[in-house]
Structure 1
Amino acid sequence: MIESGSFLVAIDGPSGSGKSTTAKLLARRQGLGYLDTGAMYRAATAEVLRSLPESATDEDVVALVEGAEFTVSTDPDAPRFAINGIDVTTEIREPRIAAAVSRVATILAVRRSLTQRMREVISDHQRRIVVEGRDITTVVAPDADVRVLLVADPQARVARRAAEVAGKATAAEVTDQVLRRDRDDSTVSNFTDAAEGVTVIDSTFLSPDEVVDQIISLAEAAR
């Protein structure tokens, strides 16, 4: 257990690599906060779909996101997200949000705005938090105490996402969520190649506990 002082862990990786499961388990075991940055993009997308017409421009989307009020719970046992007073914790897991989120997440000005909000959450937690997403190790928190790129083979990633949505999406929709979104997001974020100082962990044949054990070993070495 990391007893005191700041300790920031940054985890990047493609869809289905196990980022959320790993980050929540690590946060529980080490007494840290947990932030799913992808959920922030999904929350923004939910508000865009609710408040803007299909003809909305990128500028409209940016203005909406920059003016929005985000409320984030970083409890790994009960992470919750609200935007402009509306709890979207359940809504952001719907297939329609997954299908639309890249449209919002690939707008660079949106990424800059949400990156700043992510850093504020990290600061609010005195840097005692596990943060996972797409470009956490390189953009959001390149100064994290431990930086990990979590990967897995595509077949395993699709299977994991299918289990996660538990029948709420078709096989084609699940594959689209994993592979198409990765392809779209890779145009604005590098989450397939490890930057200098970032440790790659392949989770294909590892249990969540085994992945967390490896990260804890990295944390102990960093301390």
Structure 2
Amino acid sequence: MVALDGPSGTGKTTVARKLAARLGAGYLDTGAMYRIVTLAVLRAGEDPADSAAVGHRAHGTEFTIGTSPDQPELRLAGEDVAADIRGPEVTRAVSAVSAVPQVRELLVSRQRRIIADVLAETGGIVVEGRDIGTVVAPESPLKVYLTASADVRAARRSGQDSAAGRPSSVEAARESVERRDHLDSTRAASPLRAAEDAVPVDTSELSIDQVIVALSELACRRGLLEGCDAETGAGSGPAEVAR
């Protein structure tokens, strides 16, 4: 298992999906789970700052999250919400919702069940989020903490929003990522931070392919891959998750 943590704009989702596909492993986007619950709260007309209401809504929310890195299914009450959960309203409210202890307890429990099921079925999984290495799966044999400069993260987020047809600017994106950084790193429940044994990887000046190569080498050296040279991190063919 690979635990991939870090703030928004560091390339976690793209890196996690591509790495999982390369390793032949499952994939889990835990942040999407918090976004789905946030969308449910907003659609119900509830205040994201009302912890009791949010906790109650979370327990009554039925959703599906897939673990395929190629097409990770995201459904709320049967509806495809992959695009909806990335909207500005959800982005503004998700930190408040994810800070509610009942929400975190509920989703962390579900995340652990999903991880166990995928590991039993495929032998490997790449899990991305903000508390994977510290809370969800502290026993993970490889923990990575992605970072990037604020300017780079803002530019990436603005580009992602524009590509998805959402109004955006670099200035607005920077304000958004910095606001979320502050909220996520100062919350009482499972704050955003790197695990003590996490490997930091600064993606500011790296392409996605360069990050994937670096993480694949780390996985090889940790004995998580078959068919690779642990001394060099190089593989002789397609990487496979060691079972």
State the secondary structure of the residue aligned to 1:120: helix
Q: How many residues align?
A: 215
Distance 1:100 1:180 in 2: 11
- Answer with 83-92 or 10-19: which moved more: 83-92
- Match of 1:186, SS state, is helix
**Where does residue 139 of structure 1 map in the other structure?**
135
Task: Choose which of 47, 61, 75 in structure 2 pairs with 1:82.
Answer: 75
Q: How does 1:61-100 map to 2 (within 5 A)?
A: 61-100=54-93
State the shift of 1:45 in Å: 0.5
The alignment partner of 1:205 has SS state of coil
Partner of residue 114 from structure 2, selected from 121, 135, 140: 121
- TM-score norm. by structure 1 comes to 0.90
- Paired residue for 1:5? none
Deviation at 1:56, TM superposition (A): 7.4
Name the aligned partner's letter for residue 11 of structure 1: L
Pairwise CA distance, 1:25: 0.9
Q: Is the 8 A contact 2:97 2:103 kept in 1?
A: yes
TM-score, length-scaled by structure 2: 0.83
- The more displaced of 177-186 and 42-51 is 177-186
Greater relative contact order (Cα < 8 A, sep 6+) = 1
In structure 2, distance between residues paired with 1:179 and 1:101: 14
Distance in 1 of aligned mates of 2:221 and 2:211:
16
Correspondence for 1:159 among 136, 151, 155? 155
**C-alpha distance after superposition, 1:101-158 (max 9, x if no partner):** 1120111221111111111111120262111111111101111121000000100000
Amino acid at match of 2:192: F
Contact kept in structure 1, 2:161 and 2:168, CA below 8 Å: no
Change (3 A) 1:216 1:55: closer
Range that drifts further, 66-75 or 157-166: 66-75
Q: Distance in 1 between matches of 2:136 and 2:158?
A: 29
Q: Which residue of structure 2 lines up, in the alignment, with residue 200 of structure 1?
A: 200
Determine the C-alpha separation between the residues in 1 that align with 2:131 and 2:7.
10
Give per-residue Cα distances to partners, 1:23-44, cap 9 Å, x unaligned.
Answer: 0110111111111111111100
What residue in structure 1 maps to residue 173 of structure 2? Answer: 174
CA 1:54–1:198: 2 relative to 1, 3 Å: closer
- Is the CA contact (8 Å cut-off) linking 1:95 and 1:173 kept in structure 2? no
What code does the residue aligned with 1:163 have? G
Looking at structure 2, the residues matched to 81 and 185 of structure 1 have their Cα atoms a distance apart, in angstroms, of: 23
Of structures 1 and 2, the larger Rg is shown by 2
Once residues 47 and 173 of structure 1 are traced to their aligned partners in structure 2, the CA distance between those partners, rounded to angstroms, is 25
1:191 maps to a residue whose letter is L
What is the root-mean-square deviation of aligned Cα atoms in Å?
A: 1.7
Please tell me whether residue 183 in structure 1 is matched to residue 182 in structure 2. yes
Structure-2 separation of matches of 1:92 and 1:55: 15
Taking the aligned partners of 1:82 and 1:118, their CA distance within structure 2 comes to 16
State which drifts further: 101-110 or 168-177: 168-177
Give the drift of 1:190. 4.0
Mapped contact 1:95–1:169 kept (Cα < 8 A): no
In structure 1, distance between residues paired with 2:176 and 2:59:
26
CA distance in 2, matches of 1:206, 1:116: 34
Aligned to 1:210: 210
Gaps of 5+ in 2: 224-243
- Deviation at 1:52? 3.6
Show the counterpart of 2:230. Answer: none
Distance in 1 between the 2:94 and 2:172 partners? 14
**Residue identity matched to 2:127:** V
